[in-house]
Structure 1
Amino acid sequence: MIEGRVYGTLRGVLSDFFSRLFDVQAEPPEWVIIGTALLAFALVGFHPVWRRTRHVVTIVHEGGHAAVALLSGRRLQGIRLHSDTSGLTVSAGRPTGLGMVLTLLAGYPAASLVGALGAFVLTTGRITLMLGVVLVLLPLMLIMIRNLFGVVSIVTTWALVFAVAWFTEPDVQSAFAYLAVWFLLIGGVRPVFELNRQRRRGRMPYSDADQIGRLTRVHPMAWVGTFLSITVLCLVAGGWLLARWLLPE
């Protein structure tokens, strides 16, 4: 009898979860779209705040390295996230070749590409599904984290997304999702300018761009330009997807 009740309760919870997961939500009011865009811009543009929020971009940056390393056949050995918002992804395999180049190339555009994909998902109205995917991907990344700060960063981010996805109303989820996507789209651009500034000062001789430059014999500034082109293109495309219905026809 008790087992039957437990099974029934569990089945009901799972049924409710998957129902909510695949629900289609209406587009939010225009003030939500505009307001979340302005808030995201403030989170990226105001330096004292950016020093904290940049950790989210670092998580996606290192996740990009890790994902492409695995897809290119390399063996992922570990990921470290540091309190100064830097990170390191270590993989084993050939130190040269296309796989290594693609792995290095994946970091800086990752946040912008994820943001553009998120913008597309938001146009389908499956906001809870998008949050659910994040809840699955973060624990997969957690397995490869090799330092305490990295663990705390991933767990904290997961807990925040879970709280929004499970305990809040659809309109709150919608605002949170739009804010997150705007933040990734805008926040993906600033690190490229920071990279360029640090390189000019000679402080990043082993940056992704410099390592790709040594592997390809193409000047690192060309790769910085590639990062910037991809991130700006994603910002324009993602921004248009999010705000297209606000524009005059």
Structure 2
Amino acid sequence: MDSTAATSLASLWDEVFGSQPDPDLWVVIATMVAALAVIVPHGVWRVSRNAITIAHEGGHGLVALLTGRSLSGIRLHSDTSGLTVSRGKPTGPGMILTAAAGYTAPPLLGLGGAALLAVGHITALLWLATALLVAMLVMIRNAYGALTVILTGGTFLVVSWLTGPQVQAAFAYAVVWFLLLGGVRPAFELQAKRSHGSAGDSDADQLSRLTHVPAGLWLFLFHAVSLCSLLGGGRWLLEV
């Protein structure tokens, strides 16, 4: 490797894994408000929830692989529902962890993103998110799901490559706020559906059948993870 290539590689390494300056507090607050604007209104949420579904199903898929299961495929639907199919033992810790990973994935990803932003790794967060989306794309098994992941990953790629530090910072903070705040709403939606006798095959109900623990306790876990992630991650984001 000649000196020019080595210098370029070192420069790329520093750009991706080095730290970037924190944005102004007003930017952090503005991105929080922007995230709330696409989460709270029901009509907008019907569209933006697709991004939470990507994280939800990606959580199922990632934990399935980490626990030794074989991932058959992931499907994302236009009604913001999704399905992740894995093969392996139908009971036991691997299946339990896989089932529990869906509702907990978006807030935990937000918490991890907040931890990276707290130490200034803005570019690293954007590149990591892009890599995860590319890996997920390989396992998508329907056209709508592929289109959704491609558009999302393409947005991250464009911001990572073609925008300046200030735009990257604002985008990264908006994404993390969205995961933290948007990760709270699905558990409440599930609770509302279960109170009306629907969603009988939800993740909480599947976990209940797997563990003989009441579905309500699993729902409480989903609430606890999302709310604690929001409190912890929000504190990190606001300490600029």
TM (norm. structure 1) is 0.92
Of residues 195-204 and 62-71 in structure 1, the stretch that sits farther from structure 2 once superposed is 195-204
Aligned-pair RMSD on alpha carbons?
1.7
Correspondence for 1:3: none
Tell me the equivalent position of 1:156: 151
Q: Which residue of 2 aligns with 1:182?
A: 177
**Superposition deviation, residue 85 in structure 1:** 0.4
Match of 1:205 among 197, 200, 210: 200
Q: Percent identity?
A: 48
2:188 maps to which of 193, 196, 221: 193
Matched, 1:23 2:18: yes
Aligned counterparts, 1:1-249, within 5 A: 16-245=11-240
Report the CA distance between 1:201 and its aligned residue: 1.9
- 1:199 is displaced (CA, Å) by 1.4
Question: How far off its partner does 1:203 sit?
Answer: 2.2
Corresponding residue number in structure 2 for 1:4? none
| SS, match of residue 39 in structure 2 | helix
Unaligned runs of 5+ in 2: none
Q: Distance in 1 between matches of 2:13 and 2:68?
A: 33
Distance 1:88 1:171, change over 3 A: same
- In the TM superposition, residue 103 of structure 1 has moved relative to its aligned partner by 0.5
Counterpart CA distance in 2 for 1:95 and 1:151 is 27
AA matched with 1:155: I
Whole-angstrom CA distance in 1 between matches of 2:131 and 2:239: 30
The alpha carbon displacement at 1:22 in A equals 2.4
Task: Please state how far the C-alpha of 1:46 moved relative to its aligned partner.
Answer: 1.1
- Structure 1, residues 15-36: CA drift from partner, whole Å, max 9, x if none? 6543421232111111001111
In structure 2, distance between residues paired with 1:148 and 1:24: 37
Q: Distance in 2 between matches of 1:38 and 1:222?
A: 31
Give the stretch that moved more between structures: 7-16 or 134-143. Answer: 7-16
C-alpha offsets along residues 40-86 of structure 1, whole Å, 9 cap, x if unaligned?
A: 11111111111111111100000110111111111110000000000
Q: Are 2:107 and 2:183, in contact at CA under 8 Å, matched by a contact in 1?
A: yes
Call closer, same or farther: CA 1:147–1:13 in 2, change over 3 Å: farther
Q: Is the contact made by 2:20 and 2:121 (CA closer than 8 Å) also made in structure 1?
A: yes
Counterparts of 2:156 and 2:39 in 1: how far apart (Å)?
19
> Partner amino acid for 1:100?
M
Structure with bigger gyration radius: 1
Letter of the aligned partner of 1:132 in structure 2? W
Secondary structure of the corresponding residue to residue 139 of structure 2 = coil
Q: What amino acid is the match of 1:126?
A: H
